[in-house]
Amino acid sequence: MLLANNINFKRNNKTILRNINLSLPPNKIIHLSGKNGIGKTTLLKILTNILEPEIGEIFWNGKNIKKNPFEFYKNTTFIMDQQSSNNNLTVKENIFFWCKLFYSKIKPHEIESILEILQLNNYQNSHVNNLSYGEIKKLELSRLIIERKKLWVLDEPYIGLDEKSVELINETIKNHAELGGMIIFTSHTNPEIINIEKLNLDNNAYF
Amino acid sequence: MRIFSSISALFKREFQITYRNFSDLMSIFIFFLLAVIIFVFSVGPNKEIFNEIGVGIIWTLILLSNTLSLKKIFQNDFDNNNLILFHMSGLSYEIIVIIKIITIWLFFQIPFFVVIPISSILLNVDFVNIKTIFLSFLIGSPIITCITTISGSMNLLNKKNFAIGSLIIMIFSIPVIIFVVNLTNVSIEIANAQIKILLGIMFFFFAITPWVSATCIKLGLQNK
């Protein structure tokens, strides 16, 4: 379970986040929304221990993530809004790199089926810089299955995806939550997933 | 086991990326050799002058060539959040820096062992001195790599002026240059003492580089 307690964050003497509290137990999905620049990505970075809050603490299974970062990271996948795949490598090379980097137990035939589902199987040996934005995004999202972790932190996962891919991601998120996973994501659209908790940062804005 | 898998994945990735950008790597060594040739033409065909200043020219150009590879070290992985990804795989920023130091040394410094003899012939450096240059490069190149790594990580905090990174490399390299260039002109006893000083500098940079660079990366991510 992820617990954020009284998160406050300032940048250049400007308050970005104030008194943010959230709890994310198993089977729960949180949709972070709010206008541009409100601090959605900043909050995700704080929740993943990349940025340090001015005040406040974050706990993973009762332990402060600052004191036990690697135990927390063992259970967390963070898909950022920017591309993390390398343009100089092929789709397959990027996937094998992630498999090895995250010590994934995924089998080669499972990778093949992920690529097929994501309609990337014809691009396995193509360099990432030859893919479209949507295809790069789908490649990025394949990390969710490769890493197989409990907590998914997703920054704008729907951007650039076609209708079919959006449905696929919704289904994947729903299944993960049903299997005891936890998901927090930012998006400007309202995905068609039931039992989703919405946290609008506009109500917490301090400018 | 998990950590070894992540480390070997990073090494393999660095190798693949360097191999795919082979032209970048080659341009550094072409720059080095062209600069040597320009020196030969500008100083003229005086063998004795080259015998005296040849080692100094080689070391100065090694230093300048290193500043060319500076931007490559962390900037790309910082911009596309890969440093965060590596960290989330269970590697501390210090270990990531150590991996970077090793890969930079392997891919950007080791090839100098091939171009140094070529440049030594062009600059009419004595065969005995070539052996001394190799020895000094063996100790000096890890120091230069560490300084380049520190400078590359400091550049993450500085979004406007990349020239400062090159200046940092040059300033911190002055003591190294003094001792390595001097090695060819002194007696064996003094050379031994200077090698020990160089080894001391090398271990000092081995000790501080991972922590200094990791701190710069963390600060860079905080201010991104």
Q: What is the pLDDT of residues A119-149, one digit of tens each?
A: 888 888 999 999 999 999 999 999 999 999 9
Question: pLDDT grade, residue B61 (50/70/90)?
Answer: very high
Chain B residues touching residue A83 (CB < 8 angstroms):
80
Q: Over range B121-143, report the average pLDDT.
A: 88
- Find the angle CA(A157)-CA(A42)-CA(A30) to the nearest 5 degrees: 50
Q: Is there a contact between B87 and A73 if contact means CB atoms under 8 Å apart?
A: yes
At B106-126, the pLDDT tens digits run 998 999 999 999 998 888 888
pLDDT for residue A207 is more than 80: no
Does B10 contact A at CB distance below 8 Å?
Answer: yes
Q: Are the beta carbons of B80 and A93 separated by less than 8 Å?
A: no
Q: Reply yes or no on whether the pLDDT at B224 is more than 80.
A: no
Q: Residue B182's pLDDT is what?
A: 85
Confidence of residue B44 (pLDDT cuts 50, 70, 90): confident
Question: Can you state the angle between helices B188-222 and B127-154, rounded to 10 degrees?
Answer: 20
A27 to chain B, closest Cα gap in Å: 23
Q: Which residues of A touch B89 (CB under 8 A)?
A: 73, 101-103
| B5 part of contact set with chain A, CB < 8 Å | yes
Q: Hunting for tokens 């299974």 — which residue is that? A: A61
Taking the CA of residue A184 and the nearest CA in chain B, the distance in Å comes to: 17
**Identity of residue B62:** I
Given CB atoms, is A121 within the 8 Å cutoff of chain B?
no
Q: What is the pLDDT of residues B174-212, one digit of tens each?
A: 989 999 888 888 888 888 999 999 999 999 999 999 999
User: Taking each helix axis from N to C terminus, what angle separates A133-141 and A91-101, rounded to the nearest 10 degrees?
Assistant: 30
- Letter string b/e over residues A161-185, b meaning 16 or more CB atoms within 10 A of that residue's CB: beeebeebbeebbbebbeeebbbbb
Q: For residues B134, B139, B143 and B145, what is the CA-based torsion angle, rounded to 10 degrees?
A: 50
Residues from chain B that touch A74, judged by Cβ atoms under 8 A, are 90
The pLDDT of residue B222 is above 90: no
- Predicted confidence at residue A206, as pLDDT, reads 45
3-state secondary structure of B45: coil
> How far apart are alpha carbons A51 and B224 in whole angstroms?
10
Q: Cα–Cα distance between B144 and B65 in angstroms, integer?
A: 11
Tell me if residue A19 falls in helix, strand or coil. strand
Angle of CA points A122, A126, A132, to nearest 5°: 80
Q: What is the pLDDT of residue A152?
A: 96
Cα gap A22→A5, rounded to integer Å: 7
The answer to whether B158 and B164 have CB atoms below 8 angstroms apart is yes
Nearest one of A120, A135, A128 to A90, comparing CA atoms: A128
**pLDDT at residue A155 greater than cutoff 60:** yes
**pTM (2 d.p.):** 0.91
Q: Do A50 and B84 touch (CB under 8 A)?
A: yes
Cβ proximity of A148 and A106 under 8 Å: yes
Distance CA A31, CA A43 (A): 12
**Which of A48, A83, A88 lies closest to B20 in CB terms?**
A88
Give the DSSP letter of residue B150.
H
3-state SS string over A50-103?
CCCCCEEEEEECCEECCCCHHHHHCCEEEECCCCCCCCCCEHHHHHHHHHHHCC
If DSSP states are collapsed to H, E and C, what string results for A131-198?
Answer: CCHHHHHHHHHCHHHHHCCCEEEEECCCCCCCHHHHHHHHHHHHHHHHCCCEEEEECCCCCCCCCEEE
Whether the predicted pLDDT of B170 surpasses 90: no
Q: Exposed, middle or buried, B171 (CB in 10 Å: 0-12/13-18/19+)?
A: exposed
Chain A residues lying within 8 Å of B10, measured CB to CB: 101
B-chain CB neighbours of A154 within 8 Å are none
Q: Among residues B121, B122, B159, which one has the least CA distance to residue B38? A: B122
